[in-house]
């Protein structure tokens, strides 16, 4: 992923501003974001570059350079993150990763990768799903997947949505706002039963370059079952954090040689 001025980047979660000014390197630029009031937020760059900022769907979005008319329509839509009455949310996850944005993003989406080494890797359950359709809608790629009468995914088991020995219909509809901004609407239901009778555990995943060799990963899960069980929310957060760090270390070890790393990134972009 090139470091350019042509797109909006997520710089963090709006809730992070409650603790004071937030300083973070995004796409090679060091920026600081500060909340001045409930309605006013200011962002500036140490490189004296113009920084535009918008708070949308609980996320901080920034873009470098001068604004154009109607440009905010290019910001990805994650309206699901505002449905706080319908779902229980994890805290907004923030991980700095010592691997390139392209490398981590490719392995986040390459669902079969490392499956043998660690069955509960990122989206391990999604790897078992059968794609039903792939299409573009309003410039967004959407992939709908389903696995009928299958073993429940690890994340549904640890959050006690279902017992591990109960077969379920497991679906995951993946929407790519851009290559690095992804919404996964996933859930389970009893075999052959309508999805409306099932349980949802959905998530948002955003990978942003810090430099050409490091990145930020912002994520959040939300569910519509056991909504008052705070211990399940904490368990989900801890389990997923461990998985992220495991994957990042594996990538770093596997592609520690700079030449191998660049060859790999060139290959996945080809």
How far apart CA 1 and CA 73 sit, in angstroms, is 21
Regarding whether 202 and 68 lie in a shared domain, the answer is no
Q: How many domains does the chain have?
A: 2
Q: What percent of the chain has pLDDT over 70?
A: 80
Regarding whether 250 and 184 lie in a shared domain, the answer is yes
Regarding whether 232 and 157 lie in a shared domain, the answer is yes
Tell me the CATH number at 20. Answer: 2.20.25.680
Task: Single out the residue in 51, 75, 99 at which a domain terminates.
Answer: 75
Q: Please report, to the nearest 10 degrees, the dihedral formed by the alpha carbons of residues 153, 101, 99, 258 taken in order.
A: 130
Q: Residue 145: is its pLDDT beyond 90?
A: no
**What average pLDDT does the chain have?**
82
Q: Does the residue 175 lie in any domain?
A: yes
Residue 112, pLDDT score? 37
Tell me the CATH number at 252. Answer: 3.90.380.10
Regarding whether 188 and 132 lie in a shared domain, the answer is yes
CA 140-145-148 angle, 5° bins: 165
Regarding whether 162 and 29 lie in a shared domain, the answer is no
How far apart CA 222 and CA 236 sit, in angstroms, is 10
Question: Which of the two residues, 12 and 69, has the higher pLDDT score?
Answer: 12
What tens digit of pLDDT does each residue of 204-253 get?
A: 999 999 999 999 999 999 999 999 999 999 999 998 888 888 878 888 77
Which residues constitute the domain of residue 104?
85-269
Q: Does the residue 57 lie in any domain?
A: yes
Instruction: Give the residue among 235, 233, 217 at the shortest CA–CA distance from 225.
Output: 233
Regarding whether 71 and 91 lie in a shared domain, the answer is no
Q: Does the residue 92 lie in any domain?
A: yes
How far apart CA 159 and CA 152 sit, in angstroms, is 11
Q: What are phi and psi of 82, to 5 degrees?
A: -95, 0
Q: What are phi and psi of 224, to 5 degrees?
A: -115, 20
Q: Does the residue 151 lie in any domain?
A: yes
Regarding whether 209 and 234 lie in a shared domain, the answer is yes
Regarding whether 225 and 97 lie in a shared domain, the answer is yes
Task: Single out the residue in 43, 75, 107 at which a domain terminates.
Answer: 75
Task: Single out the residue in 37, 53, 75 at which a domain terminates.
Answer: 75
Regarding whether 142 and 57 lie in a shared domain, the answer is no
Regarding whether 148 and 18 lie in a shared domain, the answer is no
């Amino acid at each position: 992923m090139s470091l350019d001025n042509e797109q909006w980047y997520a710089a963090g979660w709006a809730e992070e501003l409650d603790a004071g000014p937030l300083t973070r390197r995004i796409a090679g630029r060091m920026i600081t974001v500060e909340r001045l009031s409930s309605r006013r937020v200011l962002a500036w760059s140490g490189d004296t570059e113009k920084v535009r900022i918008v708070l949308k769907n609980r996320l901080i979005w920034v873009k470098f350079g001068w604004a154009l008319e109607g440009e905010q329509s290019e910001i990805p839509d994650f309206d699901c993150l505002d449905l706080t009455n319908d779902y229980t949310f994890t805290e907004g996850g923030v991980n700095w990763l010592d691997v390139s944005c392209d490398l981590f993003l490719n392995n986040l989406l390459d669902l079969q990768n490392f499956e043998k080494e660690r069955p509960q890797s990122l989206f391990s359950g999604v790897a078992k799903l059968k794609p039903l359709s792939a299409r573009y809608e309003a410039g967004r790629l959407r992939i709908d997947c389903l696995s009928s009468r299958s073993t429940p995914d690890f994340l549904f088991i640890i959050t006690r949505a279902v017992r591990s020995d109960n077969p379920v219909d497991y679906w995951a509809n993946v929407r790519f706002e851009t290559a690095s901004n992804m919404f996964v609407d996933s859930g389970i239901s009893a075999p052959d039963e309508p999805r409306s009778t099932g349980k949802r555990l959905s998530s948002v995943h955003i990978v942003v370059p810090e430099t050409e060799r490091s990145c930020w990963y912002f994520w959040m899960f939300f569910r519509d079952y056991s909504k008052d069980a705070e211990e399940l929310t904490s368990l989900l957060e801890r389990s997923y954090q461990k998985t992220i760090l495991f994957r990042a270390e594996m990538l770093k070890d596997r592609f520690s040689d700079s030449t191998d790393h660049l060859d790999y990134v060139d290959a996945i972009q080809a």
